[in-house]
């Protein structure tokens, strides 16, 4: 197995454990770099140690930012073809190493290898890296007449700091770094302290696609994230994570007026209209809610169902839930794994207990499975409504509240009533009716008869408390550039 030989295990952030698991080093300026302290990462399925991540100091971050700024000079001048080839090379390296990366991702994150799990995620990394190569940022001629020629160019924004969460660690890392590199920027990425290993390994592999210093990874705690958002050597921060952290980043980014892309929390509502067919939509609703165990920003997190088909919808969802195997992700028969970490497991458990006290009816699940591992069964809760925590707060776990409504206008106003706006969905056989509701839902993406799909060529982002800016597509690439105008006077 890859990794530096373990030499010490001074644990960080409460994590300790044996020393016979490999250290996955950081990549700074093209070199593999270790730290004095390490954090041991344990499998959320078995509790067994998986590997160790260096716990970077702020001095390590400074080295990475310095290397990135030095590399930025040449990389920003590299030809479009060179940058495009780098993205394609990244996709190729990921493809070559898919087996190793998928397995490591399953070990540390918990998601199954199969289904919409690790292999799906690593496949997504290839797709997004390849897509970054395909987008164009042409010079636009805004005016060309006898008085002036005015051109609009896109120039690299400068060194990008990327801060990622633990739910889709590899895919989100690629979402950040591929367009940044394509646009001519160097990157310093910091993975979540819960899931650093797969990112450390992926960057060690793909950094060779670009000159030393263009792609750096620094693993550590939240302090390294805060160090990035306040660092004067970083021009832009792209962050995916909670709304609370996004707000903290926005404040500390003010020092040098950093550009920001913030992909934050969601509490996506789905509205099932009275004409929908519960049996036909049950599987789509289920996976919209339970993809990655609900630990997905744009998962369906509140389902509003019309009174006339409420019981049928509940029954159809219970039937689907009963067919989905959950367990250790390395067992290829499983389609759902554990909750990724204890804090999230405790949050999910507390929200379900609170819902029960508020009169929620457990249709399936509702109690932790018991160890080893943070397994919480798929849980469907009926007869809860707005004002209960499981509806109002982002659960980010395998629980779906099903809320009864009798008036579509009322459902719409409840769906729009929270300070979130990432995704939303409408479920109906009548496309006109669905469109009319979809047009009034407050979200960056409104899906009709599906939920949560993301595509490399389609801009994705949140409104209200769910974020600032978009990723993906040409608009996502433009977010890694500044506009520069060349304005030529013509002799009059």
Q: Cβ closer to ligand NAD: 198 or 428? A: 198
Is 87 marked active-site? no
Cα distances (angstroms) measured from residue 211 to each of 78, 157, 237, 246, 488: 11, 18, 21, 31, 35
State how far the Cα of 346 lies from the Cα of 316, in Å rounded to an integer.
Answer: 28
Tokens of 443: 């979200």
Pick the binder of ligand NAD from 43, 102, 164, 185 (CB under 6 A): 164
Question: What ranges in 239-382 are assigned the alpha helix state H?
Answer: 243-252, 278-290, 310-321, 342-357
At closest approach, how far in Å is the CB of 162 from ligand NAD?
9
At closest approach, how far in Å is the CB of 227 from ligand NAD?
8
**Structural element, H or E, at residue 40:** strand 38-42
**Of 76-84, 132-140, 206-214, 263-271: span binding ligand NAD (CB under 6 A):** 263-271
Contacting ligand NAD within 209-228 (CB under 6 A) = 222, 225-226
For residue 212, give the 3-state DSSP assignment.
Answer: coil
- Return the residue nearest ligand NAD (CB atom): 225
Of 37, 108, 121, 263, the catalytic one is: 263
Is 475 marked active-site? no
Pick the binder of ligand NAD from 130, 158, 161, 165 (CB under 6 A): 165
Q: Cβ closer to ligand NAD: 132 or 363? A: 132
Q: Which of 183, 209, 187, 154 lies closest to 485 in space, CA to CA?
A: 154
Contacting ligand NAD within 417-436 (CB under 6 A) = 422
Pick the binder of ligand NAD from 24, 166, 286, 376 (CB under 6 A): 166
At closest approach, how far in Å is the CB of 349 from ligand NAD?
16
Pattern 345-384, ligand NAD, x by CB under 6 A:
----------------------------------------
For residue 23, give the 3-state DSSP assignment.
Answer: strand
* 19 forms part of the interface with ligand NAD (CB under 6 A): no
**Of 236-244, 367-375, 423-431, 478-486: span binding ligand NAD (CB under 6 A):** 236-244
Q: Which of 276, 350, 359 lies closest to 317 in space, CA to CA?
A: 276
* 297 forms part of the interface with ligand NAD (CB under 6 A): yes
**Helix, strand, coil % (nearest 5) of the chain?**
40, 20, 40
At closest approach, how far in Å is the CB of 356 from ligand NAD?
24
Q: Cβ closer to ligand NAD: 231 or 306? A: 231
Are the C-beta atoms of 470 and 480 separated by less than 8 Å? Answer: no
State how far the Cα of 80 lies from the Cα of 88, in Å rounded to an integer.
Answer: 13
* 184 forms part of the interface with ligand NAD (CB under 6 A): no
**Of 49-57, 147-155, 234-242, 345-353: span binding ligand NAD (CB under 6 A):** 234-242
* 403 forms part of the interface with ligand NAD (CB under 6 A): no
Report DSSP letters for 392-453, one per residue.
HS---SSEEEEEEES-HHHHHHHHT-SS--SEEEEE-S-HHHHHHHHTTS-SSEEEES----
Q: Cβ closer to ligand NAD: 158 or 467? A: 467
* 447 forms part of the interface with ligand NAD (CB under 6 A): no
State how far the Cα of 271 lies from the Cα of 407, in Å rounded to an integer.
Answer: 11
State how far the Cα of 291 lies from the Cα of 323, in Å rounded to an integer.
Answer: 15
**Of 40-48, 110-118, 245-253, 306-314: span binding ligand NAD (CB under 6 A):** 245-253
For residue 10, give the 3-state DSSP assignment.
Answer: coil
* 267 forms part of the interface with ligand NAD (CB under 6 A): no
Tokens of 140: 């636009």
Q: Which of 1, 6, 64 lies closest to 31 in space, CA to CA?
A: 64
State how far the Cα of 138 lies from the Cα of 261, in Å rounded to an integer.
Answer: 22
**Of 39-47, 64-72, 189-197, 472-480: span binding ligand NAD (CB under 6 A):** 189-197
Q: Which of 350, 363, 433 lies closest to 396 in space, CA to CA?
A: 350
Of 108, 297, 394, 471, the catalytic one is: 297
At closest approach, how far in Å is the CB of 163 from ligand NAD?
5
Are the C-beta atoms of 28 and 60 separated by less than 8 Å? Answer: yes
Pick the binder of ligand NAD from 383, 394, 442, 478 (CB under 6 A): 394
Are the C-beta atoms of 405 and 304 separated by less than 8 Å? Answer: yes
Pick the binder of ligand NAD from 115, 124, 179, 241 (CB under 6 A): 241
* 242 forms part of the interface with ligand NAD (CB under 6 A): yes
Q: Cβ closer to ligand NAD: 40 or 428? A: 40
Q: At what angle do helices 80-96 and 98-109 cross, to 10 degrees?
A: 70
At closest approach, how far in Å is the CB of 172 from ligand NAD?
6
* 248 forms part of the interface with ligand NAD (CB under 6 A): yes
Q: Which residues are catalytic?
A: 263, 297
Binding residues for ligand NAD, rule: CB under 6 A, are 163-167, 190, 192-193, 222, 225-226, 229, 240-242, 245, 248-249, 263-266, 297, 394, 396, 422, 462, 467
């Amino acid at each position: 197995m890859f990794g530096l030989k373990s030499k010490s295990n001074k644990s960080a952030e409460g994590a300790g454990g044996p020393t016979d698991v490999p250290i996955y080093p950081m990549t700074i300026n093209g070199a593999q770099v270790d730290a004095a302290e390490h954090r041991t990462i344990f499998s959320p399925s078995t509790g067994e140690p998986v590997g160790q991540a260096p716990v970077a100091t702020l001095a390590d971050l400074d080295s990475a930012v310095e290397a990135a700024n030095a590399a930025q000079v040449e990389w920003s001048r590299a030809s479009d073809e060179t940058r495009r080839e780098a993205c394609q090379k990244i996709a190729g390296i990921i493809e070559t190493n898919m087996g190793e990366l998928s397995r490591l991702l399953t070990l540390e994150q918990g998601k199954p290898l199969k289904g919409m799990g690790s292999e799906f995620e690593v496949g997504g990394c290839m797709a997004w890296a390849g897509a970054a190569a395909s987008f164009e940022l042409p010079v636009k001629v805004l005016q060309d007449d006898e008085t002036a020629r005015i051109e609009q160019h896109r120039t690299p924004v400068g060194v990008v700091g990327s801060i990622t969460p633990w739910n889709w660690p590899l895919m989100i890392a690629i979402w950040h770094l591929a367009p940044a590199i394509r646009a001519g920027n160097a990157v310093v990425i910091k993975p979540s302290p819960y899931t650093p290993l797969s990112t450390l390994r992926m960057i060690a592999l793909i950094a060779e696609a670009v000159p030393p210093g263009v792609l750096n990874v620094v693993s550590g705690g939240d302090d390294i994230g805060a160090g990035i958002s306040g660092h004067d050597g970083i021009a832009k921060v792209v962050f995916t994570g909670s709304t609370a952290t996004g707000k903290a980043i926005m404040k500390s980014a003010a020092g040098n007026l950093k550009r920001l892309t913030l992909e934050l929390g969601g509490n996506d509502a789905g509205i099932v209209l009275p004409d929908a067919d519960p049996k036909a939509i049950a599987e789509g609703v289920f996976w919209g809610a339970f993809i990655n165990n609900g630990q997905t920003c744009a998962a369906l997190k509140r389902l509003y169902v019309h009174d006339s088909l409420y019981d049928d919808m509940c029954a159809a969802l219970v039937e689907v839930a009963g067919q989905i195997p959950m367990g250790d992700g390395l067992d290829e028969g499983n389609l759902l794994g554990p909750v990724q970490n204890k804090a999230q497991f405790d949050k999910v458990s507390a929200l379900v207990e609170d819902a029960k006290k508020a009169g929620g009816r457990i249709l399936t699940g509702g109690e932790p499975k018991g160890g080893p591992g943070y397994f919480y069964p798929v849980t469907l809760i009926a007869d809860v409504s707005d004002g209960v925590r499981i509806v109002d707060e982002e659960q980010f776990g395998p629980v779906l509240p099903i809320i009864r409504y009798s008036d579509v206008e009322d459902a719409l106003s409840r769906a729009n009533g929270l300070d979130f706006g990432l995704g939303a969905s409408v479920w109906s056989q009548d496309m006109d009716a669905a469109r009319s509701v979809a047009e009034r839902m407050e979200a960056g993406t409104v899906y009709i008869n599906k939920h949560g799909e993301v595509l490399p060529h389609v801009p994705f982002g949140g409104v209200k408390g769910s974020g600032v800016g978009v990723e993906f597509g040409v608009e996502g690439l433009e977010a890694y550039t500044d506009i520069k105008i060349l304005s030529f006077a013509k002799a009059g």
